[in-house]
Amino acid sequence: MDQEQLHALRFPGESADYRRARNDLLSAEMELRRQIEAVAAMRRALPPGVAVATDYAFDEWDAAAGAPRTVRLSELFEDGKDTLFLYSFMMAPCERACTSCTSIADWLDGELRHITQRIAFVFCSKAPIEEFSAHGQARGWRDARLVSSHGNTYNRDYHTESPDGRQHPIATVFTRRDGTIRHFWTSELAYAPCDPGQHPRHVDSMWPLWTILDRTPEGRDPDWGPRLEY
């Protein structure tokens, strides 16, 4: 496509040099959009996936009873919603919550009333549910559903925990079809080879912090990250 014909819009006072550079970037952005659409189509076309062998028992805080209750993986799906998005939140027992995971949850909490019109969504951490729930309350989360895998092997089985107990942020999608729960997709970029100097970006798609900063001249700073308090 002729660069001059990408579109007719021009911004106040822009130079010819700026427009040429912007058109080069715009062409690359258009190609990236095509690739994003193509990858999304490949993801949707994945085979059904392996049936989940264990109906894991998680802990969830029951505010009415003021005590934890047990909820199974199969119960995390909701009526009419046969897709479950489970985000593994980095928070180990008696340890400080991950600031990056907290940043993700801070924004997602505001979007969940929209997201859960289509699918079920849960945050899961290895910390006891009392600790995880207290963190959510301190952050002011209103719609985030929080569960704890403290008493099961989910984190180890689905590679969100190292043998030494270190936690990892992973996004996983499960489906329920004809009563069978299957593992559909996981953000495996965290474990894939990465070009030198690059971040794995395995959960970037659900984290607008970097999406916004990537569009600024400063970009993302590898030495900077979100904090729990400022």
Which amino acid is present at 214? D
Domain ranges of the chain: 1-45, 57-188
pLDDT band at 200 (very low <50, low <70, confident <90, very high): confident
Do the Cβ atoms of 113 and 143 come closer than 8 Å? yes
- What are the distances in angstroms from CA 58 to CA 16, 25, 73, 91, 150? 60, 47, 7, 15, 8
- CATH no. of 57-188: 3.40.30.10
* The pLDDT of residue 82 is above 70: yes
| Amino acid (1-letter code) at residue 167 | Q
The pLDDT of residue 2 is above 80: no
Name residue 67's amino acid. A
Query: Has residue 5 got a pLDDT over 80?
Result: no
Task: Name the average pLDDT for the chain.
Answer: 94
pLDDT of residue 220: 87
Phi and psi torsions of 40, nearest 5°: -60, -40
Tokens standing for residue 143: 């719609």
